[in-house]
Amino acid sequence: MTAALALLVCLQAPNALTAAEQRAGWKLLFDGKSTAGWQNFKSTTIGSGWQVRDGALCIVDAGNAGDIVTSEKYDWFELTLDYNLGKGQNSGIMFHVADDGEATWHSGPEVQLYDHPAEPGVEISGYLYQLYESKVDSTKPAGEWNHLRILVSPKICQTDINGVKYYEYELGSEDFWKRVKSSKFAQYPQYAKLTKGRIAIQGDHGQVAFKNIKIRPIKS
């Protein structure tokens, strides 16, 4: 990130769109004041474990939170957000989530969020769970804000953390399905099959906070 871009980020109001972002087609998924636009999976309401505190969407009680999903469905998009993990805490962002199925992760590929040292066999923040990992770890320590970017498009998909590219892949490619076949997701017939679905945030694994959640739909 350049010094000029860093200054711009610092000056920008939280949970708001700039004029340039609005012209580019970005939409806010969190207004910084309420849980509007989100609901628990297979529900029309949201659990008390999710609270808005100091302009952030927070999991304050994982036992009463549960996974939440967007009210709208998306096919191709660019998603950005800031997340803050407590020490040893765990969450994840899923996409193309189906309304049926027993759990969000039975259909939606998950970008892992996990405060844990990069060790063999550990799925840390930014990994596409059990499918794609990074050789770098650009995350900040627990208690600090990290910036996540997820690109899901017909030609290329990519995940970045704090401006560092982790990996890219083609959704539905031969390589993608080969990895799925060797993962635990092979047993779920809906996994990664939808080309349009809800975006989900995992809410049952720990205390995590999110802000500046923005999405830019991409035309096919």
Chain segment 64-103, per-residue pLDDT in tens:
999 999 999 999 999 999 999 999 999 999 999 999 989 9
Predicted confidence at residue 220, as pLDDT, reads 76
Predicted confidence at residue 11, as pLDDT, reads 59
Predicted confidence at residue 2, as pLDDT, reads 56
Predicted confidence at residue 8, as pLDDT, reads 46
Tokens standing for residue 38: 């989100």
10 pLDDT higher than 70:
no
Residue with tokens 């999405």: 215
Q: How do residues 121-141 score in pLDDT, each as one tens digit? A: 788 999 999 999 999 999 999
Alpha-helical regions (H) of the chain: 3-11, 19-23, 174-181
Structure-derived torsion over alpha carbons of residues 176, 179, 184, 188, reported in degrees to the nearest 10: 30
Alpha-carbon distance of 117 to 74, in angstroms, equals 32
Q: Alpha-carbon Rg of the chain, whole angstroms?
A: 16
Alpha-carbon distance of 111 to 40, in angstroms, equals 19
Tokens standing for residue 29: 């998924």
**In sequence order, what E strands does 86-193 have?**
90-97, 110-114, 145-152, 157-161, 164-169
Q: Is the dihedral of CA 161, 166, 171, 176 positive or negative?
A: negative
Tokens standing for residue 174: 């031969």
Strands of 198-201's sheet, edge to edge? 38-40, 68-70, 198-201, 90-97, 110-114
